[in-house]
Amino acid sequence: MWQRYIFFYYLCRKIEIMIKKIFYFIIISLLSVFSLNAQDAKGSDFWATFGRIANMPITLQIRIVGGDEATTGTIEFTELGTGISVPFSLSPYEVFTYDLDNDQKNAVYNINMGISDKSIHITTHDNKPVTVYAMNQRPYYADATNVLPITALGREYYQISYSNPDIPADAYAVVATEDNTQIYHDNIPITPTLNAGQVYYYHTPSYNDMTGAHITSDKPVAFFATCMMTLIPAGHLAADNLFQQLAPVHTWGYNFFVPVSHLGVERVRIVASKDNTEVIIIGGEIKSTQGSSMNPGNLQAGEFVELEVLLSDDGCYIQSNNPIGVCTYLTGATYNGTDPPVSDPSQAWLPSIEQTAPNALIAPFIAAVSVIDQHFAIVMAPTGAAPNTEVSIGGGTPALLSGGYGWYDNSDADMSFYHLPLTDANASYYFTNDAGLIVLCYGVGPAESYYYLAGSSMRNLSAAFSANGVPYTEMEDHLFCVNEITFTTNISNIAEVDSMKWYKQKTSGNTPDLDYILITDIVEDPPVEWTRTFRAGNYMIKLEVYHNGELEPLVYEGELCVGAHITIYPTPNDGGMTKPTTGCYKVGTQLPMEAYPY
């Protein structure tokens, strides 16, 4: 009887999802259009560390991919002090590969539980953005991760791992980015506090899978899942380690599309960030594993569901009423049915569809002591725009994707994915699609593999409001070169909203003013939006949210900078006059002399 109930329940929810889908993709499209200043996987300041795998010796590798401008930078090792560092120099789209020497490996490789200085600090000298990846290698044991810049880090994480009941190997590592950082494991403080570059490494003393453990801090930290060894699924060879930097909870979303590698079958874990989380799954089969729930319709914070997703089903669509975290896993060589058998357990963070980005810059890993000999990118994009996706290899001319397995279309998610073989291990691959994309990267060989998120946005999806898709916390650093601004609320973390008040105060020019918009009796779902045309200038935008009968509101405030369009009249050149151009400038900017007519 319960099977019949679940069938009809999900059938009804699928119809509801189809009704809502048009709205969701309007919002997602807006997020993609206005993502130029949003947080993403590129940056200029990174912290990383490595967790223990089966046994030494191993090779630890860092790969840094240059952006569209040349840059220089430094790799530093906290435990070795400021005198030991590795410089790097990158031309546009160039790839820098560095294998750590023995002293450097020992300075970043965590074995013992507790606090240490075993971290890596990677910076560019001129704040030019790069992307960074890290990989551990040992024959038949390997995994890799993207490394997030400090702008994408946060204060709240959940462990998402995959451990087996017969292998006591689950672990994580936290890297502090500021002095006097307090770390908490399930609300229990870790003492003493950590200074910038210090690492807290924890491995379970029992056979428990720690998926769902709640890790928080009072300052931004980098969080790495570092399971020493596991089988996926349990009982199927061969074993391997997991290594993946996880995203903070404020970047978790509501809508997910799960692609599948060319191996044909993947496992997926979904973790709830809030109590009473309802997850709708279309295209995946729920599996029972250690510590997992079989009831996706009512998950409490930290509880998780495991799925099996097949390539033959064109992937899987997941929707939730609260933010969820999702990881996808390659399975063992004896489970996926490949002939000859390839792959091992590997873990990749999967961003929500809300985190698509217009571009992604990646590079496959070079096998030092590994037997991995096949490298692939999985490119995801909205189905209607997917064929427009282009790739530039090594900075070459962009071209439409070709030489892969073609596009797999998922009608439930309105998303598609493509397997592209990465045949040049020394080249960067730059993917672009104005409609937004997410890119995963994986490599496989006999009983070995790696899997990681290669490119996406890392927007703060928990922000109380946004302006033209830019979170209010980032508005001050974003110059809006359009006068019409749409404000969108995002207040899903509040149980009951009674009313909202919006305030606008001009803070630049000779005519400061005070204005507000009052919105009451909020019952709309999805969030409320309002649009206003602004003159050039700087404004403080404040949102007051009255909730749950409380007399005092929650207050969110950010600075809005609307640019002025000014025509530049260049000075005469060789007796002639070049064509005037119009630029967008923040009010108060000192313009060059050629900005004025002569």
Closest CA to 221 of 256, 254, 252, 197: 197
Please state the rounded mean pLDDT for residues 93-98.
94
Q: Could you tell me which residues are beta bridge partners of residue 224?
A: 173, 245
What is the predicted pLDDT for the residue at 476? 80
Coil/strand/helix, residue 514: strand
Instruction: Assign 8 a pLDDT band (cuts: 50, 70, 90).
Output: very low
The pLDDT > 90 percentage for the chain reads 57
Q: Which residues contact 496 (CB under 8 A, 6 or more apart)?
A: 547, 548, 549
What does the pLDDT look like over 234-245, one tens digit per residue?
888 788 999 999
Q: Which position has the higher pLDDT, 472 or 74? A: 74
What does the pLDDT look like over 268-294, one tens digit per residue?
999 999 999 999 999 999 999 989 999
What is the predicted pLDDT for the residue at 18? 46
Q: Which position has the higher pLDDT, 436 or 587? A: 436
What does the pLDDT look like over 14-23, one tens digit per residue?
444 444 443 3
Closest CA to 439 of 395, 375, 394: 375
pLDDT surpasses 60 at 395? yes
**Angle in degrees, CA 254, 488, 356, rounded to 5:** 45
What does the pLDDT look like over 121-157, one tens digit per residue?
999 999 899 999 999 988 888 899 999 999 899 999 9
Please state the rounded mean pLDDT for residues 256-279.
96
Instruction: Assign 58 a pLDDT band (cuts: 50, 70, 90).
Output: confident
What is the predicted pLDDT for the residue at 210? 95
Please state the rounded mean pLDDT for residues 568-572.
62
What does the pLDDT look like over 320-362, one tens digit per residue?
989 999 999 999 988 988 888 888 999 999 999 989 999 999 9
Q: In one letter, which amino acid is 197?
A: G
Q: Which residues contact 397 (CB under 8 A, 6 or more apart)?
A: none
| Strands in 283-402 per DSSP E | 284-287, 304-310, 316-330, 346-350, 357-362, 374-382, 390-393, 399-400
CATH topology of domain 465-562: Immunoglobulin-like (2.60.40)
What is the predicted pLDDT for the residue at 523? 53
What is the predicted pLDDT for the residue at 572? 57
Domain borders along the chain are 24-455, 465-562, 565-595
- Tell me the two tokens of residue 315: 């992937």
What is the predicted pLDDT for the residue at 359? 93
**Angle in degrees, CA 474, 477, 483, rounded to 5:** 90
Could you tell me how far CA 228 lies from the centroid of its own chain?
Answer: 23
The Cα 395–Cα 376 span in angstroms is: 18
What is the predicted pLDDT for the residue at 57? 64
CA dihedral 113, 115, 120, 126 (to 10 degrees): 150
- Tell me the two tokens of residue 363: 């590079």
- Tell me the two tokens of residue 240: 């391997």
Pairing of strands 50-51, 109-110: parallel
Phi, psi of 300 (to 5 degrees): -95, 165
What does the pLDDT look like over 183-225, one tens digit per residue?
999 999 998 999 999 999 999 877 789 999 999 999 999 999 9
Residue 187 CB neighbour total at 10 angstroms: 7
What is the predicted pLDDT for the residue at 593? 47
Q: What is the dihedral sign for C-alpha 216, 221, 225, 228?
A: negative
> 145, 246 in Cβ contact below 8 A?
no
Q: Which pTM value belongs to this model?
A: 0.79
What does the pLDDT look like over 444-478, one tens digit per residue?
988 889 999 999 998 877 767 889 878 787 788 78
Please state the rounded mean pLDDT for residues 250-263.
95
The Cα 6–Cα 574 span in angstroms is: 78
> 335, 236 in Cβ contact below 8 A?
yes
Whether the upstream peptide bond of residue 192 has omega within 30° of 0, thus cis, is yes
pLDDT surpasses 80 at 158? yes
| Residue labelled with tokens 């002025």 | 564
Please state the rounded mean pLDDT for residues 98-104.
95
> 139, 237 in Cβ contact below 8 A?
no
Could you tell me how far CA 446 lies from the centroid of its own chain?
Answer: 29
What is the predicted pLDDT for the residue at 111? 92
3-state per-residue secondary structure call for 96-143? EEEECCHHHHHCCEECCCEEECCCEEEEECCCCCEEEEEEEEECCEEE
What is the predicted pLDDT for the residue at 348? 98
H-run or E-run covering 30:
helix 2-33
What is the predicted pLDDT for the residue at 39? 63
Please state the rounded mean pLDDT for residues 555-561.
86
pLDDT surpasses 80 at 538? yes
Closest CA to 449 of 378, 351, 373: 373
> 576, 548 in Cβ contact below 8 A?
no
Mean pLDDT across the chain? 85
Closest CA to 147 of 354, 598, 454: 454
Please state the rounded mean pLDDT for residues 544-556.
78
